[in-house]
Amino acid sequence: MRVIFTEGSLDFDNKGVNAITKGAITAILACSENKNIEFVVFRLRKQGGIFVHDVNIGAKKIKVKEIWCEYRRVYIVSLLAFLLSWMPRWIKRQLLSKLIYLREFGFADQILDISAGDSCSDIYGVKHFFNMILTRYICRICEIKYIVLPQTLGPFKNGIVKIAAGYILAGASRVFVREKESYNHMKALYGDAINIALAADMAFLLEPEKHLDNTIEKFMSSFSEVVGININGFLYDGMKSNSDILGRQTKYIDAVMSVLQYFLSKTSVGILFVAHVNEDYPVLDKVFNELDKQYPHRICLLPKEFNEGQLKYYISRCSFFVGSRMHACIAAISSCVPAVPIGYSYKFDGIMDTVGLRECAISLQSEKGDVSAKVLGFYLNKDQLKTILIRSVPIVKKTVLECISSIKW
């Protein structure tokens, strides 16, 4: 059996995308009776290439092929597919079979779309949206079945994007979303035109990868308690901090710094900086250098080279976590570490709702009060939050497995 993941990765600078992909593989191996599965990950990039990854899933090591296909190549194929859309299915399949990389689609038993977890939206721009749906567009035109794995869908501000999203989602044999907001939003927009179901994020199944680093171990052993902090470089840096993605009441930079100042000046905890996307690292490094002068030896920055499993291992050892990357927060809550997301999208509220802690999500779009005061309140109540996670996380993980089990393997 051949399974293709579209717009996933095992070697992307966004560790969240890698976490979703690896979690999905974990779920399939746990649910499928077919033990002879070939996994292929397909992603559009500026440059093409084929790579083979050795992936550890529990005690098992498997090889996964990852294909990077150039945007220009897929643009051309998309145009050809449109021009040939009126032709019989077998002719369109023949077209695909002649094209390097894309021929994989014609031989797949299952095509599972990941779309980086939340890219079926124009929140990151119209161009990004259309780039992310190209492979599914080709599948629909060529009458190849595909399933949308649990992800955030919407919001849509652009009318053309709304129509295109409806066309792509209606072509899927099944659409899974990871939070109620997406489900309700899609039902309101498209009704029964899409076969939609509520599930949970695949990254809940990502296993921590034990990786002992002497410097980090020495730091963590110096404190009775360590708090993990993730700063989103996308929001912190430059024009992004004032873009339409927030349209908010609270400035992201001010919110983050007020939280850090509280923990460093009012408590004796150690602070573990976690970059979950490569663009977070320069920002964390900058903030680290600024604060380390005032609070020496209180902060440690995890290396950029750590993969998603290794990051989760250290996140799982924190007593509390504050972050603005969705999958950094999922790494925490799926490890039963209380987390407060400082977010910019309803995906943060929805994911926290799945574990019964919706009130812990702080929205930069609507929050008017003192963010650090809210974080403090949750921090002081972390034992109770942990109890809720211990009860709810196993249920969420079961939901992920039920989602995958519902697919015919």
What gap in Å lies between CA 238 and CA 242, rounded to an integer? 8
What gap in Å lies between CA 310 and CA 206, rounded to an integer? 11
Summarize the chain as % helix, strand, coil (round to 5).
50, 20, 30
Q: DSSP string of 54-75?
A: EEEETTEEEEEEEEEEEHHHHH
CA 183 from chain centre, in angstroms, equals: 17
Spell out the domain ranges in the chain.
2-205, 214-393
Which CATH topology does 2-205 take?
Answer: Rossmann fold (3.40.50)
Q: In this predicted structure, what is the pLDDT of residue 101?
A: 61
Task: Answer left, alpha or beta for residue 154, where phi above 0 means left and psi between -120 and 50 means alpha.
Answer: left
Return the exposure string of 71-108: e unless at least 16 CB atoms fall within 10 Å of the residue's CB, then b: eeebeebbebbeeeeeeeeeebbebbeebebbebbbeb
Q: In this predicted structure, what is the pLDDT of residue 266?
A: 94
User: Which CATH entry fits the domain spanning 214-393: 3.40.50.970, 3.40.50.2000, 3.30.1360.150, 2.70.98.10?
Assistant: 3.40.50.2000
What gap in Å lies between CA 14 and CA 158, rounded to an integer? 26
pTM of the model: 0.94
Give mean pLDDT in consecutive 10-residue pieces for the chain, a chain of 409 residues. 96 96 97 91 91 91 94 84 78 67 79 94 91 91 92 93 96 96 95 96 97 95 97 73 50 90 96 96 95 97 96 98 97 98 90 97 83 94 98 98 93
What gap in Å lies between CA 106 and CA 142, rounded to an integer? 9
Q: In this predicted structure, what is the pLDDT of residue 98?
A: 65
- Decide if 2-205 and 214-393 have a common fold: yes
Q: In this predicted structure, what is the pLDDT of residue 184?
A: 95
Q: In this predicted structure, what is the pLDDT of residue 409?
A: 77
Q: In this predicted structure, what is the pLDDT of residue 72?
A: 86
